[in-house]
Structure formats: C-alpha cells, structure tokens
Amino acid sequence: MAIIYSYPIKITPNGGDTMIISDLEDRKLTKQITLNSLKTLIDTTYTLNSKTNATNAENIDIDLTDSDGVVSSVEVAAGNNVTLQNNTSNPGKYTINAQGDKTYVFTQNDSTVLTWNIPHNLNKYPSVSVVDSALTTLYGEITYVDVNNLTITFSAGFTGNAFCN
C-alpha cells in the first residue's frame, strides 16, 4: 500500500524546505532534495570574473559569485567552442554559447575536378562523408593537409558535397 503525504502550499519557500522529485533515469522513482540544492538553477544572479588558469594558460577560469556571495569556479578549456560575451545592451550580463562540435559542408560544382581541396577551418581532423548530386555515397582518398585543410582524390570527376564533422 502506498503512503501519500500532502503538504500545505507555501507561497515563499525557504532554502531548507524539502521537495520531492521524480528521477526515472536512475530508477529511483522519488527523491527528497532541499530548495538550496536547486539554487543554481532558479532565482540566482551571478557575477562573472575571469582569471588566469594556473595549470594551463590556454584555458580560462571564471569565478561565479552568486547573490549570496558563494563563489564557484568554472574552467573553460581552449578549443571547445565556448564563447563568453558581454552583452553591451545590458551591461554586466553575459551570454555563454556552447555551440558543440563544428561542421563544414563543401560543395563541388565542377565535374571535371578529380581532387577536391577543402579548406574546412575546423581546427581538427574531421571525419568526412561524400555524396554525389544524386546523394549516392562515394569514396575517395582523403589526405589531411593540416587541422584546417584536406584533399580528397577520386578516380573520376563528379559534382557533389563533402560533409566534414
């Protein structure tokens, strides 16, 4: 038999108030947490201060100071496509964009070209898929020139696309 508790509605909860949540991902159907545990998600303003990373100069450390004065540090690693931008229309507010993995689509419109020179500028050695104009997958010899350029050599020319990701 299930035991059900009911609580009175509280207009302004306190940080120590207990909440019951459901979490199906780890198969524990209910958990009790305090409102303080959710503080970073709701009704908190942060001040951001960047500082030099002591172990890796390419990375940036950001101290997040919440409205209660609690400081948390975040390390932003170089090359992971995260942009922290000061919002000039609303000073003191920052936008963090994590764009995830970069991709590039190269289009070859000349059917006489056997070697495609692709300047993808992804700063990595991407995986490559090639299709012709009928969307048939084709294979060629891929040569990575460097982290921003590659060539693909085919036995015959055709028009199509190379998808780099």
100: pLDDT strictly greater than 50: yes
52: pLDDT strictly greater than 50: yes
The residue-averaged pLDDT of 6-18 equals 63
Contact 55, 71 (CB under 8 A): no
User: What is the SS3 assignment for the chain?
Assistant: CCCCCCCCCCCCCCCCCEEEEEECCCCEEEEEEEHHHHCCCCCCCEEEEEEECCCCCCCEEEEEEECCCCEEEEEECCCCCEEEEECCCCCCCEEEEECCCCCEEEEECCCCCCEEEECCCCCCCCCEEEEECCCCEECCEEEEEECCEEEEECCCCCCEEEEEC
The residue-averaged pLDDT of 4-13 equals 60
Per residue in 118-134, pLDDT tens? 999 888 899 999 999 99
Residue 115 φ/ψ, nearest 5 degrees: -115, 120
- Comparing 55 with 32, which gets the higher pLDDT? 55
> Which of 142, 139, 145 lies closest to 160, judged by CA?
139
pTM above 0.75, yes or no: no
> What is the distance between the alpha carbons of residues 84 and 51, in angstroms, rounded to a whole number?
13
151: pLDDT strictly greater than 90: yes
Look over the chain and give the mean of its residue pLDDT values, rounded to a whole number.
73
Residues above pLDDT 90, as percent of the chain: 34
Per residue in 68-89, pLDDT tens? 677 776 666 655 455 555 555 6
pLDDT bin (cut points 50, 70, 90) of residue 1 is very low
- Comparing 71 with 112, which gets the higher pLDDT? 112
The residue-averaged pLDDT of 12-35 equals 60
> What is the distance between the alpha carbons of residues 80 and 124, in angstroms, rounded to a whole number?
11
- Comparing 130 with 32, which gets the higher pLDDT? 130
> Which of 112, 97, 106 lies closest to 128, judged by CA?
106
